[in-house]
Amino acid sequence: MQAQALAAALSPRLGRTEDMAGIAAFLFSDDGEWINGQVWSICGGMHLRG
């Protein structure tokens, strides 16, 4: 399953906990204070939309 996921994704690796932690830290920081009401797909390119 891992090989299939990597073949389908644009990212060269599987996701890590740190990937989500970095995004959460950004959103809770002063830099992210104007971001609200958005839906982000954080999937390494698995669900790329055109």
Enumerate domains of the chain plus CATH numbers: 1-50 (1.10.8)
On whether the CB atoms of residues 11 and 45 are closer than 8 A, the answer is: yes
Residue 46 confidence (pLDDT) = 76
Contacts of 35 (CB under 8 A, 6+ apart): 27
Taking the whole predicted model, whether its pTM rises above 0.85 is answered as no
On whether the CB atoms of residues 33 and 26 are closer than 8 A, the answer is: no
Structure tokens at 25: 């830290």
Q: Per residue in 2-49, pLDDT tens?
A: 888 788 778 888 888 888 898 899 999 999 999 988 888 787 777 765
Spatial CA neighbour of 38 closest among 22, 27, 49: 27
